[in-house]
Each structure stands twice: as structure tokens, then as C-alpha cells.
Chain A
Amino acid sequence: MENATLSFEQILNATVRMIRTTWKVPTCFFMQMDDRGGLSIRASDGSTVPGVKAMTFKTSEGVIARCVGKNVIVETPHLAATDDLSSLLNPALDGSNKKYILVPVTGESRVLGLLLLGPIAKELDVKSRETELRSAGALCAVLSAHWRLYDWMSHFLPQVNHELRTPLTAVQGSIGMVLGGMFGQVGSEVKEMLEMAHKGCERTVRAIEGYLNDQEPPKE
């Protein structure tokens, strides 16, 4: 699972780099939205700010909120202080006739994040290149959706593993102690029944391990 997450990060970084190169801009970010509407930088290329990936942004107001809330591409020479991006991007705009472009990254039913690139010349007609920008956003959307799924699974699977193994330990352990003769000998019929139950527990454990290793549970 960890390897899969890592490869998604690498793919997303390469995608962002490709978009930046295509648009011939110094900076390109992909920000992924969490379930509470917060945005955090998942991939960045061209930034000289250290620790940029650790930055998170609110979407309550400002140009970011306009972009993701109305699902529109926004061109902006200025970023409101509430967007928290100003400190990161404004130095590149100072004293120049340039702007940034914010592209909403949308999935089937929700906004997944935001693609930000620039600075570009103000004269550039973004409208004529909207399809191109939306396609770049769509590429990030696919990667973002897969990343979220793997992220969720990497938490979900160990939890399921734990929740199933804990009660099995009590069941298998107590049967094992009886079968092991810790409380004296048991009759042959009782022993047969307990062995059947013990075997069932072992099968369940093997099945859990099989699923966790992306394999079919072993056939009896």
C-alpha cells in the first residue's frame, strides 16, 4: 500500500511538471481538497519556497473559493490575504504585468482540488485555451481520486485486520487451551467439535491474510 501511495505521488509530481513545461510557466501546484473543504498542496513544481507541500489553505473566501465554488477558471493578478497563498505567489508578480490561473479539478460529483499555474503574461487569452486547461485539471482529477482511494484503503485494511484478529485470538486461544489439556482431558466427541471450531478459526485467519496480500483465500 505504501509503495502504491509513493508511486501516485511520483506520477502526480510528473504530471504537474509536464503541465508547467507545456504552459512554459515557472510555477505549478496541484492542491487536493479534503472532506472538510481544506486544500493542501499534493504536488508542486517550480516553487522555491521550502516546505511548500506542508501548506494548507482555506476555501471560505477569496479567489480560491470562487474557483472551486463556482467551478470556473479564474485569472488573478492579486490573491486575497485570506487565501494564504499571497506570501507564496505574490513575490513572482511584483512589478510585472502578469497573472496566475486557477483551474478547478472536478470529479463526477464533487470538486477534488485546484490546479494553479503561472505567472503568465496578462495578454494571454485563457478563454481560447480553456479546454486545454480543463484537460490538465481532468488528468489531476483522475490521479487525485485514485490517491484518495489508496489513502483510504491503507487505513481501512489494517483496521479490518485488527478488528477481525482480536476476537479470533480469544476464540482460538480458549479452544486451544482446552484442546491442549490445560483444564484436563475432554471426551472424544467434544474434542472433535472443538477441533472443528479451531480449524474454522485457522481458515478465517488464512483468508484474512490472503485478502490483505491481494490473493485469493487458500482453498481447503
Chain B
Amino acid sequence: MALQHSIRGHPDRPAVTSQKILVFVLNPGYIRAVKVLVAEDDPDIQVILRMVLTRLGKCEVVITFRGDEVVPLAKTHQPGLILLDVMLPEMSGFDICKALKAEESLKNIPVIFLTARSMPAEMQQALTLGAAGYLAKPFDPMTLVAQINSIIVPLGSAIGA
């Protein structure tokens, strides 16, 4: 799938080119997210995400399949980035995002939705709730890190080497 097609960043934010990402990554002023919290209930996708984020993203990965565990885990681990599925057991991704943004200590952590629910209304809802961006499944694992960076680099952080 083409990169442009699956990245749904905030419409008010300017487009990020790969050149801009490189500048940000090389600039010592950005904050490197060393820990990523992933909420994903599909075990196969969990394996893929762990592999991609550790090998290509050079991150420590904390994964949960339950929605209600995200906020407590975020408080414990203080990740630099949270990847959220929408349909999760016990608590939906939208409710989790709302809860994260309501917590003073967690509200500045960038949240990216990574979900198979890609109807325009749902994407809009995610952005309204304060998510940094929206990535639609299926995603290309080899370009996932670049896609994530295209969303979080303008916010001053990045993953990868």
C-alpha cells in the first residue's frame, strides 16, 4: 500500500517529507522515544509489531491486549509513544485515548491509532480526541517506522536509529 494512502495525520499539520524526518532524526534536539506501549489484541499482529519496533524502531516494547490495562501501564512505564488499536477487550481505543489525555502525567505522550477500522468518521473521531495520527491496517512493516516518524517528528520526538 502506498505510504501516502495509509498515513492519516492531523489535517491542520503540514505534510512531512522523508527529508524533514531525516533532519529531525539527526538533530540532537528531538526526543527519542525509547519505549513504546502497544495495545493490540491480535496475537499475530503483536508479534509483527514487536519485531518491527525492536529491530527497526530500536525501541523497548510493552504490549497489552486489554484496553483497560493501557492507562496503568502508561503510568508505570511512561512510554514515549503509544500505539492503539480501536477495538480492544474491556475498553475501546477511543475511550483509552480520552482517558490518557485527561491524565496530567500522560497527556503529552503522542498517541497513534493503528487500526483496521478505517471509516472516515472514525479517523476524524480519533483526531478530535487528541490522537497525533491514524495508521490504517494492513500496514507495511518495513515502512512503519517511517510512517510513525512522519506523525511524531513534528511533535518533537522520533523512533529508530
Residues of A within 8 A of B (CB): 1-2, 157-158, 161-162, 164-174, 176-177, 179-180, 182, 201-202, 205, 212
Contacts of A170 in B (CB 8 A): 42, 44-45, 48
B30-79 at interface with A (beta carbon < 8 Å): 42, 44-45, 48, 51-52, 55-56
The smallest C-beta distance from B26 to any residue of chain A, in angstroms, reads 23
Known: A158-B122, A202-B1. A176 touches B141 (CB 8 A): yes
Name B residues whose Cβ lies closer than 8 Å to a Cβ of A.
1, 42, 44-45, 48, 51-52, 55-56, 87, 115-119, 121-122, 136-142
CB–CB A161/B141 < 8 A: no
Complex alpha-carbon distance, A40 and B121, angstroms: 26
Query: Known contacts being A158-B122, A161-B119, is A172 close to B142, with CB within 8 Å?
Result: no
Compute how far the CA of A212 lies from the CA of B118 in the bound complex, rounded to whole angstroms: 10
The secondary structure that dominates the B interface is loop
Top 9 A-B residue pairs of the complex, sorted by shortest distance between their CB atoms: A165-B116, A170-B44, A180-B142, A169-B138, A169-B137, A173-B48, A172-B138, A162-B116, A168-B138
Interchain pairs with CB closer than 8 A, number: 71
- Residue among A162, A167, A182 making CB contact with B117, cutoff 8 Å: A162
The reply to whether A177 and B116 form a contact with Cβ atoms under 8 Å apart is no
A212 near B137 (CB under 8 angstroms)?
A: no
Q: Are A169 and B116 in contact (CB under 8 A)?
A: yes
Name the CB-closest residue of A to B43: A170
Residue in A closest to B118 when the chains form the complex, CB atoms = A161
A162-B87 CB under 8 A given contacts A169-B45, A174-B48: yes
User: What distance in Å separates the Cβ of A157 from its nearest Cβ neighbour in chain B?
Assistant: 8
